[in-house]
């Protein structure tokens, strides 16, 4: 299996008037061909920023301050902004939140597609070529090509989703990033989208998918690997099943104990949640960033920051409980 994403020591943040807010600190993330990697974390943990830094979308005030990101063999930060722009859509594509409503309502789907293609090529391919490509992709993801000549408003929610995905994968990007694609959808539409994303990777339409969400229950449905972020750092990376069965980091454990999952016993269980609030990143706590909320905090946690280490085979965690 080849490495599709190799992000090393990524560090970056936002230039605010009051100072530099380091939203992402020293994050390593690898993804192999055929893998779906879930990135989980609560609001403000830096997961969306990490995605932007990975694809080189450093539009001010966002800035990369360290590390490198290699996508499908291309060193993103070895390229100029303009060169990077031309990669988006062709090598790496992001499906943003609320993307279903991103389709221009005054244009037919095929015209939207022509626009996208035109923007990405210096010499655009002919319309009939593009149309053939689009038809093929529509069929692959189970959408009637008739939709090509329809307006977004004529499509149902599920069809619209498929259309968005078809448009964003039209140029065969090897690497797809989906940022909270399922929030704000009702559960049935959510399920359809999950199936669609799963199909994309399994059918090798895209090589790798990074799926960002605050909801680990959604992630666990399709992700092979899961990466837990907190306050700008990665605390744990493991196989999904391993994390589900035995979370190592106290934060991951806390997250699992916050999940309200539908089951007959749910009424009788008392979930705990995680008391306290995430730290202010302008002034992060010393040592481990989770220590003020951690029930297992030890003196060392306050002083030294643990780094992400492999503690068992395939299990990486940044916590003094597991580092010796």
Which residues here bind another protein, judged by CB under 8 A? 42-43, 59-60, 142, 186-188, 190-191, 194-195, 198-199, 202-203, 214-218, 220-222, 244, 254-264, 266-267, 270-275, 277-278
Q: 272: how many CB neighbours lie within 10 A of its CB?
A: 12
Q: Which helix (H) or strand (E) holds 163?
A: helix 157-168
In DSSP terms, 176 is beta-bridged to: 93, 209
Name which of 126 and 270 has its Cβ closer to another protein.
270
Name which of 6 and 290 has its Cβ closer to another protein.
290
Q: Tell the smallest beta-carbon distance from residue 50 to another protein (Å).
A: 18
Q: Tell the smallest beta-carbon distance from residue 277 to another protein (Å).
A: 5
Name, in order, each residue with C-beta under 8 angstroms of 305's C-beta and a sequence gap of 6 or more: 286, 287, 288, 289
Name which of 152 and 247 has its Cβ closer to another protein.
247
Q: Give the torsion sign (CA, 180, 181, 185, 190).
A: negative
Q: Tell the smallest beta-carbon distance from residue 262 to another protein (Å).
A: 4
Name which of 110 and 253 has its Cβ closer to another protein.
253
Q: Tell the smallest beta-carbon distance from residue 303 to another protein (Å).
A: 25
Q: Tell the smallest beta-carbon distance from residue 187 to another protein (Å).
A: 4
Give the separation between CA 173 and CA 193, rounded to whole angstroms.
Answer: 18
Q: Which residues of 149-168 are buried (b: 16+ CB within 10 A; e: fewer)?
A: eebbeebeebbbbbbbbbbb
Q: Are 198 and 222 in contact (CB under 8 A)?
A: yes
């Amino acid at each position: 299996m080849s490495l599709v994403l190799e992000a090393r020591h990524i560090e970056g943040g936002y230039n605010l008037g009051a100072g530099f807010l380091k939203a992402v600190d020293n994050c390593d993330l690898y993804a192999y061909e055929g893998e779906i990697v879930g990135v989980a974390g609560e609001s403000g943990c830096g997961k969306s920023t990490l995605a932007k830094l990975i694809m080189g979308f450093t539009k001010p005030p966002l800035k990369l301050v360290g590390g490198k990101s290699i996508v499908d063999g291309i060193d993103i930060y070895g390229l100029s902004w303009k060169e990077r722009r031309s990669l988006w859509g062709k090598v790496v594509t992001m499906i943003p939140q609320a993307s279903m409503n991103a389709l221009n309502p005054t244009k037919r789907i095929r015209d939207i597609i022509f626009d996208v293609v035109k923007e990405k090529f210096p010499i655009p391919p002919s319309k009939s070529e593009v149309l053939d490509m689009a038809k093929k992709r529509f069929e692959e993801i189970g959408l009637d090509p008739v939709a090509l000549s329809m307006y977004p408003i004529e499509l149902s929610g599920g069809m619209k989703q498929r259309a968005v995905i078809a448009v964003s994968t039209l140029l065969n990007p090897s690497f797809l990033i989906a940022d909270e694609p399922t929030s704000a959808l009702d559960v049935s539409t959510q399920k359809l989208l999950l199936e669609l994303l799963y199909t994309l990777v399994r059918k090798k339409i895209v090589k790798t998918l990074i799926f960002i969400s605050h909801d680990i229950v959604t992630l666990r449905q399709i992700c092979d690997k899961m990466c837990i972020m907190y306050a700008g750092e990665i605390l744990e990376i493991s196989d999904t099943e391993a994390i589900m069965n035995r979370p190592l980091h106290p934060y991951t454990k806390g997250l699992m104990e916050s999940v309200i999952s539908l089951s007959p016993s749910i009424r009788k269980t008392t979930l705990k949640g995680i008391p306290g609030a995430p730290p202010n990143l302008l002034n992060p706590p010393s040592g481990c960033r989770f220590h003020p909320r951690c029930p297992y905090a030890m003196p060392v946690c306050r002083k030294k920051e643990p780094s992400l280490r492999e503690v068992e085979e395939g299990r990486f965690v940044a916590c003094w409980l597991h580092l010796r």
